[in-house]
Amino acid sequence: MPLDQYIINDLKPFDLNTPITELQEVFNQLTYSHVPIQKDGIYIGCLSETDVYCFDANEKVEDVIYAIEHFDVRQFTIWLDVLDMFALNDSNIMPVLDEHNNYLGYYQLIDVISLFRNTPFFSEAGGIIVIEKAYNDYSFSEVCQIVESNNVKVLGVFVSRIKNDMAQITIKIENSGLSAIFETFRRYGYTIISGHEDDSFLKTLKDRSAYLDRYLNL
């Protein structure tokens, strides 16, 4: 799923000689959590809205260079890794660099989330199964083999939780009776946490995603 079509380049990195008061005015007008910073035309990181409002308006970016947060993704970074970078850096914009470290623009969190909502995991009708097994004992290949051995297609699978050396795996499958699949998972040592033959669980995920969209647009 290529992301480069979602690169926005209407926000250029600010130079080190930019007055802090200018950044404060930018944040007053925009809903971004961060703005990109460059040194001698080369992107070096971002300043957060929280920090900028704490600085003296008479200072310049070069005076607070210690507060710059160093994060970015590459032009061909896959969307799941991009989403992970958003979460790790608590940001709603993500600078994008090419293979030569040139700044190309940025992604918005809301655009990346919308891609997730458009995947078959969300868009296709089906059932949801949540299973659990020791972290060192499960495998995706085994999980998929168990489902497909019951003549059911897998629409999506991911690790949704890791705690106390136990992994929970969430699986989206085509609508079908779940009883036989449950029994097969149990034979392979998996614990069934939950299973939904309708889309009630998926509807909850969509509702929460829509709520997040509204929050990000405030």
The yes-or-no verdict on residue 136 having pLDDT over 90 is yes
State pLDDT tens for residues 8-36: 999 999 999 999 999 999 999 999 999 99
- The answer to whether the CB of 25 falls within 8 A of the CB of 68 is no
The confidence band for 176, taking pLDDT boundaries of 50, 70 and 90, is low
So what's the pLDDT on residue 115? Answer: 77
The confidence band for 179, taking pLDDT boundaries of 50, 70 and 90, is confident
Please tell me the distance from the alpha carbon of residue 198 to that of residue 195, in angstroms, as a whole number: 9
State pLDDT tens for residues 78-113: 887 888 899 889 999 999 999 999 999 999 998 888
The confidence band for 203, taking pLDDT boundaries of 50, 70 and 90, is low
Closest CA to 20 of 76, 50, 63, 75: 63
So what's the pLDDT on residue 65? Answer: 96
Q: Domains of the chain by range and CATH? A: 4-108 (3.10.580.10), 120-206 (3.30.70.1340)
Query: What tokens does 163 get?
Result: 């705690």
Strand order in the sheet with 127-134: 154-163, 166-173, 127-134, 191-196
Please tell me the distance from the alpha carbon of residue 46 to that of residue 35, in angstroms, as a whole number: 5
- The answer to whether the CB of 33 falls within 8 A of the CB of 92 is yes
- The answer to whether the CB of 100 falls within 8 A of the CB of 75 is no
The yes-or-no verdict on residue 208 having pLDDT over 70 is no
Please tell me the distance from the alpha carbon of residue 189 to that of residue 158, in angstroms, as a whole number: 18
- Give the pTM: 0.63
Radius of gyration of the chain (CA): 22
The yes-or-no verdict on residue 201 having pLDDT over 60 is no
- The answer to whether the CB of 75 falls within 8 A of the CB of 4 is yes
